[in-house]
Structure 1
Amino acid sequence: MIVETKIVGRRTPFERRPLEVPAGPQTLRSLLTHLVEQEVAAYHERQNSVGVLRVLTERELSEATLTGRVSTSPQAPGGTVTTEDAVRTALTGFGDGLYYVFVDDEQVEALDAPLTLRPDSTLLLVRLTALAGG
């Protein structure tokens, strides 16, 4: 499946990346948990390479020019992140209405509603931004 992310109010393009569809019956809760687990694992992998000299590839430079920002890995390690805390934060954020979730162009409003996912499904996460004074 493809995961797309967008922040309302920003001009940056959607971020698109593949995600393997988890096996078995799915709910939004289990799908978000799977996604967060993948993101935390990737974060830990990036943290393990902090301080290592890194050379950007031509492809990475080309992609960076599309966003207008070229960066290398951080030089100092970030904070400690646990999977359990990250999952709890993601589920709380959804419950608090901080982002909307769409699967194949249909909004999903309940964490425990059953989902039908295919390998070519699209998961869209739209993060909302608060208005000033709101």
Structure 2
Amino acid sequence: MIVETKIVGRRTPFERRPLEVPAGPQTLQSLLTHLVHAEVAAYHERQEQVGVLRVLTERDLTEGALGGRVAVAPQAPGGTVTPEDAVRTALTAFGDGLYYVFLDEEQLESLQAPLTLRPDSTLLLVRLTALAGG
């Protein structure tokens, strides 16, 4: 499965990355839980690299420029994130309408509706931003 993310109102391109399709029957809630657990694991892996001397490659510079940020110095370690807290935050944000979810171009509106996932499915997460002065 491919996961795409986009923040409405930003010029940065979609971020695309593969995600292994979880086995068995799925709902949006279980799929988001699986995705959040993968993201938290990746976050913890990145935190282990903080403070390590890193040389920026031409690819790093190009990707950073496209993303709008090139990190040239080690950052301080971030806060502690637990998968349970992150899942709770993601599910609450979905319920509050802070982002939309599309699976193979169909909007998903219920956390409990059954999903049919294929290895070639595309999951799109669109984060909404508030209008200035709104």
Answer whether TM exceeds 0.5 for this pair: yes
Equivalent residue, structure 1, for 2:80: 80
Residue 30 of structure 2 corresponds to: 30
Percent identity over the alignment is 85
Count of residues in Structure 1 that have an aligned counterpart in Structure 2: 134
* 2:12–2:66 CA contact under 8 A, matched in 1: no
- Compared with structure 1, are the counterparts of its residues 85 and 74 closer, same or farther at alpha carbon in structure 2 (3 Å cutoff)? farther
Question: Aligned partners of 1:126, 1:59: CA distance in 2, in Å?
Answer: 26
Structure 2: segments with no counterpart, 5+ residues: none
Show the 5 A alignment for 1:101-120.
101-120=101-120
For the residue of structure 2 that corresponds to 1:101, the secondary structure is strand
Q: Is the 8 A contact 2:53 2:74 kept in 1?
A: no
After superposition, where does 1:19-58 map in structure 2 within 5 Å? 19-58=19-58
Distance between the aligned counterparts of 2:32 and 2:133, measured in 1? 30
In 2, distance between residues paired with 1:66 and 1:75? 20
Cα RMSD between the aligned structures?
A: 1.4
- Displacement of 1:72 in angstroms is 4.6
List gaps (5 residues or longer) in structure 1.
Answer: none
- Please, what TM-score do these two structures have when normalized by structure 1? 0.93
Q: Report the TM-score, using the length of structure 2 for normalisation.
A: 0.93
Equivalent position amino acid for 1:53 in 2: L
In the TM superposition, residue 59 of structure 1 has moved relative to its aligned partner by 2.7
